[in-house]
């Protein structure tokens, strides 16, 4: 009597194999996602490192750090359409490998969008599709919400919050002070200018933030400003408004607050999402990333690393200030010392990994 030979799996065996594959996939997928996130974080760190290198080259040539707010060169300083306020990127373009864009930025023939008769002679420059140029070195690949063409997610250390009323004092004072940060408004009379040598002589270049991530840098307001200093559709007249003159600080740098005088910082902890609709623009000017647990930073000596979002606010103030022991409150009358602690160089890794 012949016997039939089994040539396939039974239903039970097939279900067992499928179950095992499902278990292995469940174990493997989180590991793959973690590897992807780590790769994006590393690429982001590489990008901000390149920004740091370009900034140090700029500082070496100019003997100062770039301002977070600047006026286009070769344009008269008058109250007409030729005043263009921009952030930190345009003056730095040639140090970021885009001398072509820098030449357009510094050319007086490149007028604002809506003014230039020939769109090829417009600043900010746009491509054939009318989109602003995108510079990948200014962005973090982990951020899935990049919503505008000219995205910028790395911003300089802008010190304390500016107080423009200081300019009108009987003895005029700057909106912010040299001790408080490294990047300042360069459009005001006698602007504050910081340098590597100054920072090195104070708290130290290895313990002072130069740039941090802030994925909210150009999304704190519906008119979203990009790296070129303009929102899409803006005209030169728009760029002269008080909003543009003052709010460029909040969307082009990170700042810190004197928590003795005011305590807005705890409303938006470092690296946390802004969820309270009552939060005003200045609260967006803090480190914020798409990474879990912290944000990437490049220091004034050019080294970059990941910093924990759980560091104390006092440590954050110390890492932001160039001369923490002598920080000055722009909102005091007259401006006096803040209470930022001094940390000797170098800060230990354990302090940044809290």
* Domain containing residue 61: 34-352
* CA terminus-to-terminus distance, the chain: 77
- Rounded to whole angstroms, the Cα distance separating 184 from 175 reads 9
Confidence of residue 2 (pLDDT cuts 50, 70, 90): low
pLDDT of the residue at 31: 66
Residues 255-309 have pLDDT tens digits of 988 754 455 455 667 887 766 666 677 777 889 998 989 999 999 999 999 999 9
Q: How many other CB atoms are found less than 10 A from the CB of residue 272?
A: 12
Residue 135 near residue 51, CB atoms below 8 Å:
no
DSSP β-bridge partners for residue 85: 71
Is 131 within the bounds of a domain?
yes
Is 2 within the bounds of a domain?
no
Can you give the pTM of this predicted structure?
0.82
Is 7 within the bounds of a domain?
no
Is 141 within the bounds of a domain?
yes
Is 23 within the bounds of a domain?
no
Residue 208 near residue 182, CB atoms below 8 Å:
yes
Tally of domains in the chain: 1
Residues 175-204 have pLDDT tens digits of 999 999 999 999 888 999 999 999 999 999
Residues 32-90 have pLDDT tens digits of 666 677 888 899 999 999 999 999 999 999 999 999 988 877 765 554 444 567 789 98
Beta strands in 51-175 (DSSP E): 70-71, 85-86, 111-112, 122-123, 154-160
Is residue 207 pLDDT above 80, yes or no?
A: yes
Is 83 within the bounds of a domain?
yes
- Rounded to whole angstroms, the Cα distance separating 341 from 315 reads 8
- Rounded to whole angstroms, the Cα distance separating 223 from 205 reads 35
- Rounded to whole angstroms, the Cα distance separating 112 from 121 reads 9
Residues 224-233 have pLDDT tens digits of 556 766 554 4
Is 108 within the bounds of a domain?
yes
Pick from 351, 289, 349, 296: nearest CA to 42:
296
Residues 110-160 have pLDDT tens digits of 765 545 456 566 666 777 776 777 788 998 988 766 656 667 889 999 999
Contacts of 353 (CB under 8 A, 6+ apart): 308
Is 21 within the bounds of a domain?
no
34-40: long-range pairs with CB below 8 Å, 24+: 37/142, 37/291, 37/292, 40/140, 40/141, 40/142, 40/290, 40/291
Pick from 155, 154, 153, 198: nearest CA to 180:
198
DSSP β-bridge partners for residue 308: 294
Is residue 8 pLDDT above 80, yes or no?
A: no
Helix (H) / strand (E) containing 75? none
Angle at alpha carbon of residue 88, lines to 296 and 129, rounded to 5°: 95
């Amino acid at each position: 009597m012949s016997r039939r030979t089994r040539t396939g799996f039974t239903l039970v065996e097939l279900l067992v194999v499928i179950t095992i594959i499902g278990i292995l996939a469940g174990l493997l997928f989180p590991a793959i996602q973690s590897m992807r996130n780590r790769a994006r974080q590393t690429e982001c760190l590489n990008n901000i490192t390149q920004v740091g290198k370009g900034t140090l080259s700029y500082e070496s040539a100019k003997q100062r750090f770039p301002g977070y707010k600047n006026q286009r060169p070769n344009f008269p300083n008058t109250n007409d359409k030729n005043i263009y306020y921009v952030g930190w990127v345009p003056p730095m373009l040639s140090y970021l490998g885009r001398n072509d864009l820098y030449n357009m930025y510094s050319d007086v023939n490149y007028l604002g969008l809506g003014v230039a008769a020939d769109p090829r002679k417009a600043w900010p420059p746009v491509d054939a599709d009318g989109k602003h140029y995108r510079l990948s070195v200014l962005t973090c690949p982990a951020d899935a919400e990049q919503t505008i063409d000219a995205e910028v997610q790395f911003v300089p250390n802008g010190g304390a919050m500016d107080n423009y009323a200081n300019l009108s004092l009987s003895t005029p004072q700057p909106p912010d002070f040299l001790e408080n940060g490294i990047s300042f408004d360069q459009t005001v009379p006698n602007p504050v200018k910081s340098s590597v040598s100054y920072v090195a002589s104070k708290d130290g270049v290895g313990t002072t933030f130069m740039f941090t991530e802030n994925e909210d840098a150009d999304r704190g307001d519906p008119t979203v400003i990009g790296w070129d200093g303009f929102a899409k559709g803006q005209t030169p007249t728009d760029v002269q408004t008080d909003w543009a003159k003052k709010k460029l600080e909040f969307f082009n740098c990170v700042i810190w607050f004197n928590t003795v005088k005011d305590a807005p910082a705890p409303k938006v902890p470092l690296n946390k999402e802004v969820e309270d609709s009552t939060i005003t623009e200045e609260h967006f000017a803090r480190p914020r990333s798409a990474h879990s647990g912290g944000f990437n930073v490049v220091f004034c000596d050019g080294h970059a690393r990941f910093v924990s979002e759980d560091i104390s606010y006092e440590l954050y103030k110390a890492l932001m200030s160039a001369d923490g022991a002598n920080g000055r409150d722009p909102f005091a009358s007259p401006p006096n010392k803040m209470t930022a602690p001094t940390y000797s160089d170098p800060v230990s890794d354990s302090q940044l990994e809290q």
